[in-house]
């Protein structure tokens, strides 16, 4: 990863560890809301490549009534370049998780899953401070958490996007 001084302004804003942490925490909250379980650690690496990719984010369904398999069948283009985005964003995901751990937004439980430490009010407060695309990323992240929670298994979610643990 580039040192902060070498990052472009856009990269520094969009891939800011605090912003990415709020995004990941929002997914954790949505996932826990739908499953009463913490987010499997491995799914955390899928979040940024989906939510930060504007075309994918804007085409996500509005409700979980549209299943992920059905949506991916109709939006096969969302999978194009997904693996490459995932690999490119891995260091930023790790950095965001470290940030979340350091500032008590998330914790890793004994099974290695990610649990929200902060509640919905803290996420909503962070959301109110954001504008346009950043706000959309965090709000769609909560949906993504619920959507991932509606899937039969972590492995199925990953396989649908063309990746494996």
| Buried b / exposed e along 5-40 (16+ C-beta atoms within 10 A) | eeeeeeeeebbbbebbbbbbbbbbbbbbebeeebbb
**CA atoms in the 13 A half-sphere facing the CB of 32:** 18
Each residue's pLDDT, cut to its tens digit, for the chain (165 residues) gives: 677 677 777 776 778 899 999 999 999 999 999 999 999 999 999 999 999 999 999 999 999 999 999 999 999 999 999 999 999 999 999 999 999 999 999 999 999 999 999 877 788 788 778 778 888 898 899 999 999 999 989 999 999 999 987
**What does pTM read for this prediction?**
0.90
The structural domains of the chain, with segments of one domain joined by +, span 4-160
């Amino acid at each position: 990863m580039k040192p902060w001084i070498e990052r472009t302004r856009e990269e520094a804003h969009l891939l800011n560890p605090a912003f990415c942490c709020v995004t990941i925490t929002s997914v954790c909250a949505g996932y826990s809301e739908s499953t009463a379980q913490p987010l499997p650690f491995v799914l955390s690496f899928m979040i940024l490549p989906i939510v930060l990719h504007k075309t994918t984010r804007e085409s996500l369904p509005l409700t979980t009534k549209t299943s992920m398999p059905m949506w991916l069948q109709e939006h096969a283009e969302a999978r194009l370049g997904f693996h490459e985005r995932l690999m490119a964003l891995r260091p930023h995901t790790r950095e965001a998780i470290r940030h979340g751990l350091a500032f008590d937004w998330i914790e890793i439980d004994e099974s290695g899953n990610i649990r929200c430490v902060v509640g919905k009010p803290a996420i909503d407060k962070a959301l109110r401070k954001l504008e346009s695309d950043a706000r959309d990323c965090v709000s769609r992240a909560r949906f993504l958490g619920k959507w991932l929670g509606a899937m039969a298994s972590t492995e199925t979610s990953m396989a649908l996007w063309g990746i494996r643990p």
